[in-house]
């Protein structure tokens, strides 16, 4: 491989790897030209760190013939600790680049702030990638470090596949660009134009037919920012934390951007609060990455077409507390905990009960560490509790004067009486790691559950669970205890035990699978809105399959890890306004109960006929709503099949309302000012009678 090709490859890796720097792909810190490590602040209100140098919303994609991206490629090469040997090893083997083609077209339209077509916008389209994250087994140790060469090779293969399926074009005088030969899948569409922020870019477009997507472009004035180090010298690179109001809940949202004094920094019109953070981290705590220096927050108002006044941000040392969560033996904790922090008043006596109040701050410790920055000096009380518990396991009192104070919190060892050892076995008796666990106590009048988010795993298939409070109290005579475990391969397993039990074994049985096919799916008008659900009909069912699954283009879905026995298949229909959102809820339109045997099973479920109901209310005003609800008893149709739970519509000028997609059955029709009507769907038009006037008593 020639040396001239390596900058191009590195630039492509940076530009197409979803916003990740190459150093993050290799799990190594990125360094600037001065050798300063780059990090992201571990703050709760920060959504993500964005790099404004190759910004996906502001600059066009890499063009080998342009001068600007060439400079970016050269800078990228100098900012990555990747040797030539690593590049040669990662990209030395040919990659598979099978392209996806289809019969549809996809058209993008870009408009400016005045609603006029915007020509010259570069638009790219590629098939969307699913979330390729690897789920770690519950309570497992940190995943082993992958060889940088292998990880770089995987990235190169993914980028090569993106290039094989990439469509790119530029909008014409009408602001449009059209791509032909688009396959039936979800596409990621990006739009780029220097000096403009493209809203909704990237856009994710599920393509089931010829499709269109619209973008709005807003001019973004360049903001002049100077960031000074504590000694007053200018800083070349930093992180800009931008906060802006969240319209939904009246709070503030924060986004972090990579900033360089040599590149323009742009913001759309709005009201912001800006602060600068350094690109440093504490060398003594490699697992806790946050900025050591920060500036004061500065308010800023940005108006379209008007450049804001220059800003100067002075970095100063930050004050805070950070630490790790450890087991009694010094190993990293494998339990999901929460740290509580309270600033003590002068002369106030520390007490664990103080941490249960609303004044105490609660910090998440999912990564095994905690960080609280930008706090005032003083004496603080630290407490550690389980994430879903109020019991304070341990407390520490620290005095903060300046800088960042490190203090580790240790989970005390409760001994055998305070823990429950759980061994999980596959159907052959071999120990395996599972995905989730749940403890449950059932008593007269109710029950209590405790989801084990991250128990401590001693070895493969052996977990130590901290007994929740309800297991330590004296049990009622009729109380029963059980523990459930869920595994993606074998489904769910539940075992009951007595209160004083300290060891439990869970052994899964041979699972069942079922391929469910929807008959009449091809060409059906509801095809892109249908979902399937399979639920085991057992008292202790805790299967993760109890959620809607989108079917593929064949109208089928394969469910694995089910319990043998009676299972219920549900066919759902998503709302028409949310059919492109796979996480939206769906109403059940058909059910089928099947008895599953161990191994492979097959079933078919039919799409029922849905009807429209016309309701006329003479004399009603336009916009008044009418609702349809099922009656208590279904006097017609199949009682084993569902009915539409609730539907509503509005009357037009003539007093007519039409309610679509109603299942057969008995229903009540209600509207304010009219008598309730009972109907059997399907039926003709329903006429509502005015409500009778109430007689004076």
CATH numeric code, 222-317: 2.60.40.1120
Q: List b or e across 10-24, with b for residues whose CB sees 16 or more CB atoms inside 10 angstroms.
A: bbbbbbbbeeebbbe
Query: Is the model's pLDDT at 77 over the cut of 80?
Result: no
What's the pLDDT score for residue 441?
Answer: 82
- In Å, what is the CA distance from 459 to each residue of 125, 382, 410, 421, 428? 46, 31, 21, 11, 18
Interatomic CA distance for residues 57 and 583, integer angstroms: 26
Percent of the chain with pLDDT over 70: 71
Q: What is the CA radius of gyration of the chain?
A: 30
Spell out the residues 6+ positions from residue 8 whose beta carbon is closer than 8 angstroms to its own. 62, 64, 73
**189 preceded by cis ω (within 30°)?**
no
Interatomic CA distance for residues 441 and 497, integer angstroms: 10
- Identify the top-confidence range among 86-100, 134-148, 321-335: 321-335
Q: What is the pLDDT of residues 379-434, one digit of tens each?
A: 999 999 876 667 788 899 999 998 889 999 998 876 767 788 899 999 999 999 88
- Identify the top-confidence range among 191-195, 230-234, 365-369, 538-542: 230-234
Q: What is the pLDDT of residues 495-525, one digit of tens each?
A: 988 878 889 999 998 888 899 999 988 888 8
CATH numeric code, 320-410: 2.60.40.1120
Q: List b or e across 236-245, with b for residues whose CB sees 16 or more CB atoms inside 10 angstroms.
A: ebbbbbbbbe
What's the pLDDT score for residue 626?
Answer: 93
Interatomic CA distance for residues 506 and 580, integer angstroms: 40
Within the chain, which residue ranges are assigned CATH 2.60.40.10? 5-219, 611-687
- Identify the top-confidence range among 137-141, 439-443, 453-457: 439-443
Q: If you average pLDDT over residues 95-114, what whole number do you get?
A: 76
Query: Is the model's pLDDT at 585 over the cut of 70?
Result: no
The end-to-end CA distance of the chain, in Å, is: 97
Q: If you average pLDDT over residues 581-606, what whole number do you get?
A: 83
3-state secondary structure of 116: coil
At 16, the pLDDT band (50, 70, 90 cuts) reads very low
Quick count: other Cβ atoms within 10 Å of Cβ 688? Answer: 22
Higher pLDDT, 454 or 667: 667
CA-nearest of 564, 565, 589 to 575 is: 589
At 51, the pLDDT band (50, 70, 90 cuts) reads very low
- Identify the top-confidence range among 60-74, 97-111, 457-471, 595-609: 595-609
Query: Is the model's pLDDT at 270 over the cut of 90?
Result: no
Query: Is the model's pLDDT at 628 over the cut of 90?
Result: yes
Between the CA atoms of 306, 310, 313 and 314, what dihedral angle is there, to the nearest 10 degrees?
A: -170
What's the pLDDT score for residue 203?
Answer: 78
Interatomic CA distance for residues 90 and 358, integer angstroms: 53
Contact of 549 with 532, CB cutoff 8 Å: yes
CA geometry: angle 133, 138, 144, nearest 5 deg? 60
Residue 473 buriedness (CB in 10 A; 0-12 / 13-18 / 19+): exposed
Topology of the domain comprising 611-687: Immunoglobulin-like (2.60.40)
What's the pLDDT score for residue 181?
Answer: 86
Q: What is the pTM of this model?
A: 0.50
Within the chain, which residue ranges are assigned CATH 2.60.40.1120? 222-317, 320-410, 512-606
- In Å, what is the CA distance from 202 to each residue of 108, 150, 168, 220? 12, 28, 14, 17
Higher pLDDT, 53 or 265: 265
CATH numeric code, 512-606: 2.60.40.1120
Query: Is the model's pLDDT at 92 over the cut of 50?
Result: yes
What's the pLDDT score for residue 407?
Answer: 92
Query: Is the model's pLDDT at 656 over the cut of 90?
Result: yes
CATH class for the domain made up of 5-219:
mainly beta
- Could you say which DSSP state residue 303 is in? B
3-state secondary structure of 12: helix
Percent of the chain with pLDDT over 90: 27
Q: What is the 3-state secondary structure (H, E, C) of 385-416?
A: EECCCCCEEEEEEEEECCCEEECCEECCCCCH
Topology of the domain comprising 416-507: Immunoglobulin-like (2.60.40)
């Amino acid at each position: 491989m020639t040396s001239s090709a390596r900058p191009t490859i590195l630039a492509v890796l940076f530009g197409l790897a979803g916003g990740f720097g190459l150093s993050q792909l290799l799990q190594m810190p990125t360094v600037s030209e001065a050798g300063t490590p780059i990090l992201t602040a571990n703050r709760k209100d920060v959504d993500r760190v964005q790099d404004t140098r190759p910004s996906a919303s502001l600059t066009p994609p890499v063009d080998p013939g342009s001068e600007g991206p060439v400079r970016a490629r050269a800078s990228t090469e100098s900012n990555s600790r990747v040797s030539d040997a690593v590049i040669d090893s990662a990209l030395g083997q040919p990659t598979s680049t099978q392209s996806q083609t289809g019969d549809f077209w996809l058209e993008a339209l870009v408009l400016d702030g005045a609603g006029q077509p915007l020509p010259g916008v570069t638009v790219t389209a590629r098939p969307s990638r699913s979330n390729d994250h690897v789920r770690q087994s519950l309570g497992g140790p940190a995943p082993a470090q992958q060889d940088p060469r292998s990880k770089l090779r995987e990235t190169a293969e993914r980028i090569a596949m993106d290039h094989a399926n990439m469509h790119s074009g530029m909008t014409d005088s009408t602001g449009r660009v059209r791509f032909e030969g688009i396959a039936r899948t979800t596409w990621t569409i990006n739009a780029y134009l220097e000096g403009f922020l493209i809203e909704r870019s990237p856009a994710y477009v599920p393509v089931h037919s010829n499709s269109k997507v619209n973008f709005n472009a807003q001019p973004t004035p360049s903001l002049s920012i100077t960031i000074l180090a504590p000694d007053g010298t200018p800083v070349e690179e930093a992180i800009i934390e931008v906060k802006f109001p969240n319209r939904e809940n009246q709070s503030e949202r924060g986004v972090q951007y990579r900033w360089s004094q040599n590149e323009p920094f742009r913001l759309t019109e709005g009201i912001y609060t800006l602060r600068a953070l350094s690109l440093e981290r504490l060398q003594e705590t490699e697992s806790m990455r946050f900025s050591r220096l920060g500036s004061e927050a500065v308010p800023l108002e940005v108006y379209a077409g008007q450049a804001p006044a220059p800003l100067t941000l002075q970095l100063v040392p930050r004050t805070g507390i950070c630490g790790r969560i450890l087991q009694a033996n010094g190993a990293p904790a494998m339990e999901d905990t929460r740290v509580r922090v309270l600033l003590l008043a002068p002369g106030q006596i520390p007490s664990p009960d103080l941490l249960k109040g609303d004044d105490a701050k609660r910090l998440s410790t999912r990564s095994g560490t905690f960080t609280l920055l930008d706090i005032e000096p003083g004496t603080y009380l630290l407490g550690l509790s389980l994430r879903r518990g109020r019991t304070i396991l341990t407390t520490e009192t620290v005095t903060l004067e300046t800088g960042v104070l490190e203090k580790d919190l240790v989970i005390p060892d409760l001994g055998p009486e305070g823990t429950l050892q759980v061994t999980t076995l596959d159907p052959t008796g071999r120990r395996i790691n599972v995905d989730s666990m749940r403890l449950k106590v059932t008593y007269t009048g109710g029950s209590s559950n405790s989801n084990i988010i991250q128990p401590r795993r001693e070895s493969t298939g052996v977990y130590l669970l901290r007994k929740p409070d309800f297991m330590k109290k004296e049990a009622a005579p009729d109380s029963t205890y059980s523990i459930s475990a869920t595994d993606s391969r074998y489904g769910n397993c539940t075992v009951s035990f007595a209160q004083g039990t300290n060891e439990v074994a869970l052994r899964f049985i041979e699972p069942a699978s079922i391929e469910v096919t929807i008959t009449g799916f091809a060409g059906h008008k509801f095809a892109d809105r249908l979902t399937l659900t399979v639920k085991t009909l057992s008292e202790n069912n805790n299967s993760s399959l109890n959620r809607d699954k989108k079917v593929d283009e064949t109208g089928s879905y394969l469910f694995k890890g089910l319990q043998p026995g009676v299972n219920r298949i549900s066919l759902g229909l998503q709302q028409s306004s949310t059919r492109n959102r796979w996480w939206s809820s769906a109403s059940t339109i058909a059910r089928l109960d099947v008895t599953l045997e161990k191994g492979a099973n097959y079933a078919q479920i039919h799409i029922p006929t849905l009807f429209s109901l016309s309701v006329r209310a003479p004399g009603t005003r336009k916009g008044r709503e009418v609702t349809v609800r099922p009656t208590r008893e279904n006097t017609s149709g199949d009682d084993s099949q569902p009915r539409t739970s609730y539907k509503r519509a509005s009357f037009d000028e003539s007093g007519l309302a039409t309610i679509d997609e109603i299942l057969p059955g008995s229903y009540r029709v209600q509207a304010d000012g009219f008598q309730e009507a009972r109907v059997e769907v399907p039926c003709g038009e329903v006429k509502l009678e005015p409500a009778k006037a109430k007689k004076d008593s």
